[in-house]
Structure 1
Amino acid sequence: MTETNQAKRRQQHITIVSETFPPEINGVANTLRHLCQGLMQRGHRVTVIRPRQRHENKGTVAGAGLALFSHEHVVAGLPLPGYADLRFGLTRSGHLRSLWQKDRPDAVYVATQGPLGVAAVSAARCLGLAVSSGFHTNFHSYSRYYGVGVLEHLLCAYGRWFHNRTAITLVPTRKMEQTTATMGIKPTGLWSRGVDCGRFSPYKRDDALRSQWGLKAKDRAVLYVGRLAPEKNLRMAVACYERIRGLHPQTRFILVGDGPLRRHLAERHPDYIFCGTRRGEDLARHYASGDLFLFPSKTDTFGNVVLEAMASGLAVVAYDDGAASEHLRHEENGMKAALPRDEDFVDGALRLADQPTLLNRIRAQARLDALEMNWNSQIEQFEQLVLNQPSRVRYHGINKQSMSLL
């Protein structure tokens, strides 16, 4: 590729549509932050379309200080049922068509399947734009944790309808490729995640923080980072920690994050240490000050926290799913358990707590492996999947006018 063609390829207008975006804290928002930053560093112009967040009002300067995008368009937002901290966006497809007719993007990436995502896909198809989607969240699986499991099949059908209206659906793991294929979603493309090993590092371990947690030099901190919500399988994290504490009474359980289960957990376990939401360097310091990391979720499509924990030099215990299925090698850089085998999850954690040599070897290897998981390669993969679609994929099934381009 000549320098002229390379420059042309890198100077495209990409629109990211999402119901969640920084400074909200969740895996989707975190991924989009790195995506937008990476695309801009590679010379692209990035427009973000998202709902107004809880902390904003109409007079707020949207996205102030984030420097994640070239331009932003904010639509109305309402709380997501069961997730009061998150919003879903409300806008008309015609409004987006008008917006894109004035400033036509080269590609549209729709990260969420809510009303805003539906409007964006419809508008893009109408205009013959290259529109891709991302399978970031297992919302159909969440239904069983909120007492509406009967809706799971309906939500699966909705997800299939939504994603099959886009040219390609990006998924983060090979296992998720199989899951979406079973759901009838096609075609898909593998787009994984990276981790910032400068931000997350074992060198940020803080002995003063560990002392605040009531730990001495050789005591262990069992760490959980994430939403305190039913779908995160915190029941298993609690059961696992209690087994560890039964053998090692000086161990402390540190929970970083917030959510609907926090009050319940704090009332039942007043001796647990609840750190609330942490960001930036403060979050990195909390990671690095732990020893053993529990990731009990069986619903996450990926789990960015697994990579952050590895980069921080922690020994991760997880189920063989999501990021763990891609990046953990059992007994080498982490401990994995098959999804149905809860006892294996507990056994893996107990072995780490009982065997300091194994724990330290796994922690060191986890950090070394994380150094290879950079975001640059993932941003390049995103470009290949979203920007370089052949015309037969980019325009398939959009409308009669676009079919003439095949």
Structure 2
Amino acid sequence: MDISDLRIALFSGNYNYVRDGANQALNRLVGWLLENGARVRVYSPTTKTPAFEPAGDLVSLPSLPIPGRSEYRVTTILPPRIKKDLNRFAPNIVHVSSPDSAGHSAVRWAQRHKVPVLGSVHTRFETYPRYYNMAFLEPVLEAILRRLYRKCDAIVAPSDSMAQVLREQRMSYDVGIWSRGVDKHIFNPDMRDMDWRRSLGLQDDVPVIGFLGRLVMEKGLDVFSDTIDRLVRRQVPHQVLVVGEGPARSWFESRLPRAVFAGFQGGTDLGRAVASMDLFFNPSITETFGNVTLEAMASGVPVVAARATGSESLVEHNVTGQLVRPGATVEFADALQAYCGNPELRLAHGQAGLKRSEKYSWDRINRGLAETYIRLIRQRQAGSGGVPYRAIR
């Protein structure tokens, strides 16, 4: 069996209606699979105003807007038309990338039709409630996730650190890695543009601390702003550049009145924005990989990040950046202050990060996932796939 024999039904909670790192990776995967002869059919909620054109055939799933976060949608049960479409497509593997209702239904369909299932983990959903004063829900969400992933033949995580978390949470007996790559044509030190920086009112001789990501509270906006407050009180010369959009932008602007908000940037504009930073600050703990961290490293920018899944696998402490205990604003401020006052250290760690980023090739990474698909299909054909988790504890 080779890649051209694959028929993949991919279920996503957000394939292209709001742009994020997870669906960018999924679209890149689908494009790569199609180029290599596989057949792919994607099932996801859709909107009339998608963020970008999807790769591959996209089938719209019924969905409802999430209360309070209407830009996102949650799927309902799979209607008969979707099940008929699945039957006609006749996948030889199902890939579930979101633990929503459609994902659970897709796993049940696969079990009935004796089709292997791969689950991919893209974010730490169980940590989200703590950002909305509902941390008591975390054990409940973790139990729901465990119920889904234990029914999969295997699951994959974007980083070694996240894979270890999944093992500790007893999510599956078969946990692999589907990492992330970086586009070196977009993210590289040559994209640095001081004229663009000046056009935003940023000075050449004052270090720029950058934030990149969707402006939502679960990205650690409170920790970021509290840390910047400490730098202000310490009278550390610095400037802040925020790249991204989201529902928490007005809150973030009120907390960082001196920051420059560049809004959404894409393609080469995004590469220019990242390379034009002097250091990158990522306090988030919800990412399973941290695409933005890798993009900063590929741009030759040192990183200060929370010691959490994703960043912990990317950033080498005191070599390519600094890893700090999550939420520790004093320690974050110490790390940022060290970089602000030492351009030689910024350069050394930025160059080390650039070198480390070179091993993240999209072709190698996506080929590895295709090989995982093939392995699971062969295991199922041999009668060794789909072993319940409880059978091997």
Structure 2 length-normalised TM: 0.90
Q: Distance in 2 between matches of 1:54 and 1:316?
A: 37
How far residue 224 of structure 1 moved from its aligned partner, in angstroms, is 0.3
Match of 2:84 in 1: 98
Alpha-carbon distance, 1:291 to partner:
1.1
> 1: distance between equivalents of 2:17 and 2:70?
15
Residue number in structure 2 paired with 1:73: 59
| Percent identical | 27
Alpha-carbon deviation of 1:63? 6.8
Which blocks of at least 5 consecutive residues in structure 2 are unaligned? Answer: none
Q: How does 1:5-404 map to 2 (within 5 A)?
A: 8-22=2-16, 24-53=18-47, 55=49, 64=53, 66=54, 68-69=55-56, 71-92=57-78, 94-187=80-173, 188-245=175-232, 251-339=238-326, 341-389=328-376, 390-391=379-380, 392-396=383-387
- Are residues 246 and 342 of structure 1, via their aligned partners in 2, closer, same or farther at CA, if it must alter by over 3 Å? closer
Question: How far is 1:93 from its partner?
Answer: 5.9
1:107, distance to aligned residue in structure 2 (A)? 1.3
| CA separation of 1:80 and 1:396: change in aligned 2, threshold 3 A | same
Aligned CA distance change for structure 1 residues 243 and 232 (closer, same or farther; 3 Å): same
2: CA distance between counterparts of 1:184 and 1:248? 47
C-alpha distance in structure 2 between counterparts of 1:63 and 1:298, whole Å: 27
Letter of the 2:294 partner, please give it: L
Q: Distance in 2 between matches of 1:180 and 1:75?
A: 28
Asked whether the 8 Å contact 1:197–1:370 carries over to 2, the reply is no
Measure, in 2, the Cα distance between the counterparts of 1:130 and 1:355.
53
The answer for unaligned runs of 5 or more in structure 1 is: 57-61, 399-406
Q: Cα distance, 1:300 vs. partner?
A: 1.8
Distance 2:163 2:254 in 1: 40
The Cα shift of 1:248 comes to 6.2
User: In 2, are the aligned partners of 1:213 and 1:252 still within 8 Å (CA)?
Assistant: no
Query: Aligned with 1:46: secondary structure?
Result: strand
Structure 1 pair 227/328, CA: closer, same or farther in 2 (3 Å)? same
Alignment CA distance shift 1:293-1:340 (3 Å) = closer
Equivalent position amino acid for 2:207 in 1: R
Contact 1:129–1:395 at 8 Å: present in 2 too? no
SS in 2 for 1:300: coil
Letter in 1 for 2:184: C
Q: Which moved more, 1:105-114 or 1:147-156?
A: 147-156
Q: Given the superposition, is the C-alpha separation of residues 9 and 214 from structure 1 closer, same or farther in structure 2, using an over 3 Å criterion?
A: closer
Counterpart of 1:52 in 2: which secondary structure?
A: coil
- Tell me if the contact between 1:93 and 1:122 (Cα under 8 Å) persists in the aligned partners: no
- Given that 1:335 and 1:348 are in contact with CA atoms closer than 8 Å, whether structure 2 keeps it comes out as yes
Contact 1:96 1:120 in 2 (8 A): no
Q: 1:387 to 1:81 in 2, by over 3 A?
A: farther
Shift of 1:214: 1.7
How much has 1:318 moved relative to structure 2?
0.5
Rounded Cα–Cα distance in structure 2 between residues aligned with 1:340 and 1:252: 21
Contact kept? 2:157, 2:177, Cα under 8 Å: yes
Cα pair 1:133 1:166 within 8 Å, conserved = yes
Name the Cα RMSD after superposition: 2.3
- Cα-to-partner distance string for 1:88-115 (whole Å, 9 max, x where unaligned): 2234264443212211112111100111
Cα drift, residue 213 of structure 1: 2.4
Amino acid in structure 2 at the alignment position of 1:51: P
| Letter paired with 1:270 | P
Give the alignment's TM-score, normalised by structure 1.
0.88
Distance 2:369 2:387 in 1: 20
SS of residue matched to 2:310? helix
Name the amino acid aligned to 2:203: K
